[in-house]
Amino acid sequence: MLLKKLADYKIILASNSPRRKQLLAGAGIGFAVETTGVVDESFPADMPHNEVPVYLAKLKSQSFRPLREKEVLITADTVVICNKQLLGKPDDADDAARMLRMLSGNRHEVLTGVCIRTNEMTHTFVSSTLVDFRPLSSDEILYYVEHYRPYDKAGAYGAQEWIGYIGIQSIEGSYFNVMGLPIQQLFVALDQLL
């Protein structure tokens, strides 16, 4: 069983995301949080949208300090694609409201790229989830932007927050992927790799 195998390793989550920490802890995986500092999250302009999250997860992994024996590093990055546009984290309240207006009444895709790295190997994968939002009113969008913190979230929303409760009509794929970490796929990948 994976949890027994992990007793021999130090798992490091290189993320400041409280949601990623919550999900990894919820899977029973003991881990330490170490961040890499500020990473330039730019990517080639002609890169296909579906390759961006894995590219950024690998970039975060490569900018981390050298790994020691029996250390396993986990990095991740999430993006939203709506109407063929890639949405990352909003710059400010106006940008967050713009993104939410775009998502309102539409289906979008949430992609999370994950990179697992040791001294011996690097493994990446991407998880895709389709999310349908009902039409949101301007007042609902304004309320969410004013009362919640959409600035650290791809697409300017958290499925686990008020806007997710009242706005999401359906999800096809992993709910946890929408939160920022496809924990079931990560659990299986770690079990196969270690």
Between CA 4 and CA 175 the distance in angstroms is 26
Catalytic residues: 77
**Fold classified for 2-193:** Maf protein (3.90.950)
- Asked if residue 51 lies in contact with residue 4, where contact means CB atoms within 8 angstroms, the answer is no
Distance CA 82, CA 44 (A): 19
pLDDT of residue 42: 85
What pLDDT score does 40 carry?
Answer: 82
Query: What's residue 62's pLDDT?
Result: 93
Whose CA is closest to 151, among 88, 86, 75?
Answer: 88
The values of phi and psi at residue 180, to 5°, are 125, 0
Structure confidence by residue, pLDDT tens digits, 155-189: 999 999 999 999 999 999 999 999 999 999 999 99
| Full-model pTM | 0.93
